Structure 1
Amino acid sequence: MVRENKFITDIRVNVILAIISSIAILIYKKEITFAIAFTVSIVFILFQGQYRKALNFASAFVILFILSILMAGKSGLATLWLFTTIARHLLIPLSFLQGISERSIGELLEVCHRLHLPKSFGVSAIVLMRFFPTIKYELNTIRGALKFRGIGISLFSTLFHLPKNFYLTLIPLLIRTVRISDEITTVALTRGIDLDRDIVSFSEVKWTNKNTVFLIVFSIVISSLKIIEIKWGWQF
């Protein structure tokens, strides 16, 4: 799929690569293997012209890597070190899934239909992907309104009046969460989630030769990393 002169892979490519990479991170043992696999996932993002997202993922990986190094070997921080390590490894499959939430609802439903997934699963996944970005937008709006009233303008002010800032943010956010859930439920009903029949999608979903090449190449690279790790151990 080409959008604004950028090639965007089929959603099924993202899902399959995410599954393969999820299995891979369970069997990888050496940190260099994880690092190379993450580099491969960043290349996947760059091929689609998503430079800012690639930078965000790379920054998150570097930060988590530095934190894990600083906490390594310290008994009091063992649990936190474990969480940072797991989070760093999970960035690999998540980087393959990036961008799916930005696809149209019709396209996502059509892909779920072609994968023979239950309609309720597709709509539930779409609701989940739409919910958190919407909540983030609402949270930024609430913070902007508080700053306009002179509340939480600086970090010192926020920390000094932390309880006040907390409930002034939490209560409007809870109200908006209820409204958003009602709106999303209405959209799901409008799209026929309660009907036991197929729904016609107006979004075109095509599997092209480029999708095949992307899937084969990146699958081979991710799988071959484990073979190299076992046979040579990255010592040539």
Structure 2
Amino acid sequence: MDKPFEFKSTKPDARVMIFQVIVVSLTSFILSSHMAIAILFMIMLILMISHNMKDKAIQMVWRYMILLALYKILDMLQIPYLTIMFNLIILLFIRVLPAYMSSIIMLNKMPMNEMMTALQNMYIPQMIIIPFAVVYRYVPTIIHEINCVKVSLKMRGLNTSLIGIIIHPMKTIENFIIPLLIRSSKISDELSAASLCKGLDIANKRTCLSDVRFQASDAIYCLICIIIAVSLIYMDKSGFLL
């Protein structure tokens, strides 16, 4: 007799991905030395490459290098007030980068149905799950819309670079921000309607074709995350990483 067809859930589990984002976010803001943050960045970079996200990993490397170069240049120039202000902003972006990378991995690799089933198994209230589901889909969609608006502006010969935005702020609002706001409103309505069509507002428990379970491999993954985070924090506070 043939075995019934089964849908395998994505590994690691959705709860593990959420846990990873929380751990990386807390660790990146607890660390104080540049070396410790750089090691955390490298770990997230390796993780992105292991998830077949090489293009995004290269983008993250470029962003990190640009931020680090700006920090070093401003530190050498020592412009009164401006150096301190801009260096603080740059350091904030550098600290946020590992958490941002962890969030990208979760958004790109975790199916929506498994994420919602995992949250429901954690007894998260529906009033939290439904907005989270809409935002979970909204972020990648709005990024796609931003890229579409940029392409359409380039086709019309309009400047979409950072310098063009700074030089012509009013044109940026007219040509970029307004179309994006109109599209954002339509997207939010469409996503809300799609969520209702999928039965997110019903009181009954959701079912999922994939077998979403927290297994031993997921527990080991969480343990490794904790060990790496604690080790980095310990080495940072002990002065091993300057």
Are positions 1:196 and 2:203 aligned together? yes
Which residue is equivalent to 2:86?
80
For residue 96 of structure 2, what is the amino acid of its counterpart? L
Write the distance in 2 (CA, Å) between the matches of 1:59 and 1:8: 29
Change (3 A) 1:53 1:212: farther
Instruction: Tell whether 2:103 aligns with 1:97.
Output: yes
User: Hey, what's the Cα distance between the residues in 2 that align with 1:86 and 1:140?
Assistant: 25
Structure 2 alignment gaps of length 5 or more: 1-6
Partner residue of 1:213?
A: 220
Q: Indicate the SS of the match to 2:29.
A: helix
Structure 1 unmatched runs, 5+: none
Output the amino acid matched with 1:95: M
Are the aligned partners of 1:9 and 1:211 in contact in 2 as well (CA < 8 Å)? yes
Q: Do the aligned partners of residues 40 and 164 (structure 1) sit closer, same or farther apart at CA in structure 2, a change above 3 Å counting?
A: closer
Q: What TM-score does the superposition give when structure 2 sets the normalisation length?
A: 0.79
Aligned mates of 1:82, 1:195 — CA distance in 2: 46
Deviation per CA, 1:182-221: give whole Å up to 9, x if none.
Answer: 1111112223333333222233324344433332223212
Q: Give the TM-score taking structure 1 as reference length.
A: 0.81
Are the counterparts in 1 of residues 20 and 102 from structure 2 also a CA contact under 8 Å?
A: yes
For these two proteins, the number of residue pairs brought into alignment is 231
Pick closer, same or farther for the CA change 1:224–1:200 going to 2, 3 Å. same
**Is 1:170 the equivalent of 2:173?**
no
Aligned pair in 2 of structure 1 residues 2, 70: CA closer, same or farther (>3 Å)? farther
Q: Distance in 2 between matches of 1:174 and 1:29?
A: 38
* Pairing 1:36–2:43 present: no
- Which residue does 1:61 correspond to in 2? 64
**Structure 1 stretch 118-127 or stretch 206-215: which is displaced more?**
206-215
The percent of aligned pairs where both chains have the same amino acid is: 21
Which residue matches 1:45? 48
Q: CA, structure 1 residues 52+162, in 2 after alignment: closer, same or farther (shift >3 Å)? A: same
Q: Deviations over 1:135-178 (max 9, x none)?
A: 23233334444444x341786xx678764564233333332222
Give the drift of 1:120.
2.8
Partner SS state of residue 115, structure 2: helix
CA deviation profile, 1:82-141 (whole Å, cap 9, x unmatched): 121111111122222223223322111112112222223223223223223222323333
One-letter amino acid matched to 1:14: M
Q: CA deviation at 1:22?
A: 2.2
Q: Give, as a single letter, the amino acid of the residue that structure 1 aligns with 2:82.
A: G
Is 96-105 or 178-187 further displaced after alignment? 96-105
Contact 2:24/2:98, CA 8 A, preserved across alignment = yes
Listed as ranges, the matches of 1:9-28 within 5 Å are 9-28=12-31
Q: Distance in 2 between matches of 1:147 and 1:101?
A: 28
CA contact (8 A) 1:68 1:81 kept: yes
Q: Which has the higher contact order (CA 8 A, sep 6+)?
A: 2
